[in-house]
Structure 1
């Protein structure tokens, strides 16, 4: 009887130990996996994503987030639409054309709500507006967000491709062409390009918005299926990103630089360039229509302006509805 009691006590003790181990393992088991594909190789616009990963903010919300570098916003959008990744961080202005071609992807948060498309020219150049590009050569890559707007933009200055030369190159050759001065201007975005150009060809930005172009910049996208079936996980991720951007905007830019460098140690990144890219990214967060609204909230007024411009440029057909391209359901 004494031996039986001894074994019973031992089994009860073991059972309690196993139960405790199971409880301890619950948080790990509860981590929900999400794949996030970024737009390109590491640069400042990705600071909030890497910061949240580095500080454990995703983990705190029960998320296991796999952050992948991208090969362009267009490529990331395709991968999201194909279901190969859950979420993309891209230039939201690509959505209308993609949906026109059958994509089922929507914007779930908009960070860069102001148009950041720009043409870089020498800092001391006399070029200040579209009409000043007469006789100039501009370099761009074919899949650039600039692509649907080029002719429309030229037209705003009374120009066309017979009066301004547009040279299309591979993305890898874009910077070399500009810094070697084989082009007078580089079509890109101000936050990404100006800090990079500073070391080899100090430049200023001629903004597309000054020619009446409205184009939603960086934000998060997901398929309609993912939006419908993974609401809780998406809401957590968006909330964490809003927290991270607010933290960076509150003067903690160097923490964002640290996070990118730590998360991508082999990328040989320039800290000064990253810091300026983050600063300029934040400078394009707000529009008059989003004043006083939470980070990530997208304004119908801004989307209407963008879609009217895309229609005028021949990039989308008439009959569109702004609400088809975005949702604010995840913004609080």
Structure 2
């Protein structure tokens, strides 16, 4: 029968068959990535949502889902056990897991918080003015709080006897209220988390005083993007694509903080925008602005400094092994250093 078709007719038939085949074949699905954040939706997470809203993840072939977190330390086991592919979690909790169960430990691939945010907040009129004054007192914190997990190391470096200090676990949303009501003498947390959570309940910063871990030799990294070993093995290109997209979102957030906070508002309309904008700015200044980024870029780490922080934690917490910095952070997935932000202001 084909002899009755002209060349033009055969070409049209072939094109029609090709279009039919394309219509019948399903489109390639985007790679799904589940990520848990460090905390409830807040201003400093704006870069994640800007990257999502502006299609940067989609352009990399990724379908990313973000869930709220319950503490930076909590993200680490959730990635380790396979509940999430990625997390925005505390590097120091990762170091502890790697020292105990290296076969399960995720790996950090982009570190945002390069200055130690860990603190113990007390009321401004409290007699507690130095770490020594904490002895015999009652302190409170969420079970997965990064500062609480680091407290044994802080005790050793600050040369205080913490054996007589009572630790009370509390729900994170009750922390500032319990402090101001005198139910505890001090609370653990990230300095800006406490500062702005207190502001939201009408407590000004002049009512609080902070004992910052970084002032006592704990020059540690903190939150970063951590990924599961399974994802590293099975889809390293997805990790690279995620970081390219996130880095674009980070650059956009630095250029337009209002847009970053607005992106958070789309997920949580009840946040107080002025407070979250101020929280975002304070996080940039106090937690992300280490001088090293001018050379190595935001997201990257100084491996010597990281190894020193690992040694501090292993020694202070008597961990069973000492992970190498390369076990904790892998720079292979980062965008080129030239593309990483070198200044935040």
* Bucket of the pairwise TM-score, normalised by the shorter protein: 0.7 to 0.9
**1:207-286 correspondence to structure 2 within 5 Å:** 207-250=212-255, 252-265=256-269, 268-283=270-285, 284-286=287-289
Q: Is the 8 A contact 2:100 2:319 kept in 1?
A: no
1:183 to 2:204 alignment: no
Q: How far did 1:204 drift? A: 4.2
Q: How far did 1:274 drift? A: 1.8
CA distance in 1, matches of 2:254, 2:12: 57
* Gap change, CA 1:270 and 1:329, over 3 Å in 2: same
Q: Is the 8 A contact 2:114 2:290 kept in 1?
A: yes
Q: Is the 8 A contact 1:96 1:316 kept in 2?
A: no
CA distance in 2, matches of 1:224, 1:17: 41
TM-score, L = length of structure 1: 0.85
2:314 to 311, 315, 321: 311
* Superposed CA RMSD: 3.0
Q: How far did 1:193 drift? A: 1.8
Q: How far did 1:315 drift? A: 4.6
* Gap change, CA 1:163 and 1:99, over 3 Å in 2: closer
Q: Could you tell me which residue of structure 1 aligns to residue 198 of structure 2?
A: 197
Q: Could you tell me which residue of structure 2 aligns to residue 141 of structure 1?
A: 142
Q: Is the 8 A contact 1:191 1:278 kept in 2?
A: no
1:302 to 2:305 alignment: yes
1:104 to 2:102 alignment: no
Deviations 1:146-166 (A, max 9, x none): 234324424555532466544
Where in structure 2 are there 5+ consecutive unaligned residues? 337-345
* Gap change, CA 1:224 and 1:12, over 3 Å in 2: closer
Per the alignment, in what secondary structure is the counterpart of residue 112 of structure 1?
coil
Per the alignment, in what secondary structure is the counterpart of residue 40 of structure 1?
coil
Q: Could you tell me which residue of structure 2 aligns to residue 44 of structure 1?
A: 43
CA distance in 2, matches of 1:153, 1:17: 66
* Gap change, CA 1:288 and 1:84, over 3 Å in 2: same
1:325 to 314, 328, 331: 328
Deviations 1:59-106 (A, max 9, x none): 122211111222333433222112232111111111111122322311
Q: Is the 8 A contact 2:37 2:75 kept in 1?
A: yes
CA distance in 1, matches of 2:32, 2:293: 31
TM-score, L = length of structure 2: 0.82
Q: Is the 8 A contact 1:40 1:69 kept in 2?
A: yes
Q: How far did 1:130 drift? A: 2.0
CA distance in 2, matches of 1:242, 1:110: 11
Where in structure 1 are there 5+ consecutive unaligned residues? none
* Gap change, CA 1:274 and 1:238, over 3 Å in 2: same
Q: Could you tell me which residue of structure 1 aligns to residue 71 of structure 2?
A: 72
CA distance in 1, matches of 2:257, 2:291: 24
CA distance in 2, matches of 1:188, 1:258: 25
